[in-house]
Amino acid sequence: MQVYLDNAATTALDPQVLKAMVETMETHYGNPSSIHAHGRQVKTIVEKARKTIAGLLNAAPAEIFFTSGGTEADNTAIVRGIIDNGITHAITSPLEHHAVLHTLEELQKNGTIQLSLLDVDAQGHIDLLQLEKLLNDHPRSFVSLMHANNEIGTLTDIEYVSALSKQYNALFHSDTVQTMGHYAHDLAKLQIDFVTGAAHKFHGPKGIGFLYVNHNTKIKPFIYGGAQERNMRGGTENVYGIVGLAKALELAYTHMDEHRQYIQGLKEYMTAQLKGQIQDIRFNGDIAPENSLYTVLNVSFPCTDIADMMLFNLDIAGISASGGSACSSGSDIGSHVLSAIGADTKRPCVRFSFCKNNTREEIDFVVGKLRELCLEKA
């Protein structure tokens, strides 16, 4: 049996998304910047997709900018948001994705900002009292906090953080890559400055994402070279990717409640099976349903003798999972997230992430293999 439980890294392309993309590829090849009929037709397709996404998020189409993915969107929001608004202080947590952390660290290194890192507890919750104190101590700050952690799944109350940021005249950016398409985002109600999305996290194509920029927040282009995206991002649009992004998000919203209930059930089932079959099992992050991303389960196993080989052994057994962010694969530094929350990194830690395509039979197979591996080394 081949089992894919690495959906936080990327998801399988939905057949309906592929169909929409192929139909566009076969019939529409004009450049959307061209003024002739072929170009105008494609421009209409791009703007229809933008309108679809904006409608689902309760935003204005003019607030949606297409990017190459979440990393570019995060970089754009952070660099342009800070520099173009004259901000010299930023606040984040040590648990953020490297697309956020490395960008802010680089801005600190070159003297653009002073960077403050929030304290986090053993479950990955940020210190909200410390956040308010930092906001109060600085005239204007840039806050960047992800909605759900990509490795341990702990959720942050971004509605509260957004309100707090507004109270202290701070700009607030949230990396919502892991929750986009899985939770409903009402951006008009949220009143956030920047959010990001990547299609391949919700069964869309890779290489396409978007950045939401609140109409009250002004930034300059991050990529120059053309008048595309209303002069905000140079470069010919990834038309087929944009079509796939819009279709994937539309499908995600249409079936959101159904998929959430089903996937949450898989996560709870695997949690119970692991507890019942493997002694001294531990879970990293907050796994309470109301505080946790329902697609992610981070597990710490007692078999320390095979810590370096756990993922390899799972792969040999036909099981795809990860030790953390796919963007950090190949790094020998280890997970900065697990280190920050004080997890025992000598134990093998595995992130299992689920989607609508997974089954209980797959969970039973995976738990059985994990039990075998741990018993072999007991």
CATH number at residue 260: 3.90.1150.10
Judging by beta carbons within 10 Å of its beta carbon (0-12, 13-18, 19+), is residue 257 exposed, middle or buried?
exposed
- Per DSSP, the three-state class of 343 is coil
Instruction: Using CA atoms of 64, 200, 338, 341 in order, give the dihedral in degrees to the nearest 10.
Output: 30
Tokens standing for 316? Answer: 């040999």
Distances (CA, A) of 78 to 98, 200, 246: 12, 22, 24
Q: Name the domain count of the chain.
A: 2
Helix count and strand count (H, E) for the chain: 13, 12
Asked whether residue 224 falls in the same domain as residue 140, the answer is yes
Asked whether residue 191 falls in the same domain as residue 340, the answer is no
Asked whether residue 83 falls in the same domain as residue 205, the answer is yes
CA-nearest of 295, 82, 292, 117 to 194 is: 82
CA-nearest of 248, 342, 328, 279 to 13 is: 248
Asked whether residue 169 falls in the same domain as residue 186, the answer is yes
Asked whether residue 289 falls in the same domain as residue 370, the answer is yes
User: Which of residues 187, 221, 254 is at a domain's end?
Assistant: 254
Query: Of residues 327, 349, 355, 374, which has the active-site annotation?
Result: 327
CA-nearest of 176, 148, 188, 185 to 56 is: 185
Strands of the sheet containing 296-300, edge to edge, are 282-284, 296-300, 349-353
Predicted local confidence at residue 333, as pLDDT: 60
Do 129 and 154 touch, CB atoms closer than 8 A?
A: no
For this structure, is 355 an active site residue?
A: no
- What residue numbers bound the domain in which 356 lies? 3-12+255-376
Asked whether residue 115 falls in the same domain as residue 65, the answer is yes
Tokens standing for 304? Answer: 């320390």
User: Which of residues 223, 254, 285 is at a domain's end?
Assistant: 254
Asked whether residue 292 falls in the same domain as residue 209, the answer is no
Asked whether residue 156 falls in the same domain as residue 304, the answer is no
- Regions in the chain scoring below 70 on pLDDT: 307, 324-333, 376-378
User: Which of residues 205, 225, 254 is at a domain's end?
Assistant: 254
Do 93 and 116 touch, CB atoms closer than 8 A?
A: no
Asked whether residue 223 falls in the same domain as residue 277, the answer is no
CA-nearest of 332, 359, 325 to 198 is: 325
Predicted local confidence at residue 1, as pLDDT: 93
The Cα angle at residue 173 between residues 171 and 176, in degrees rounded to 5: 160
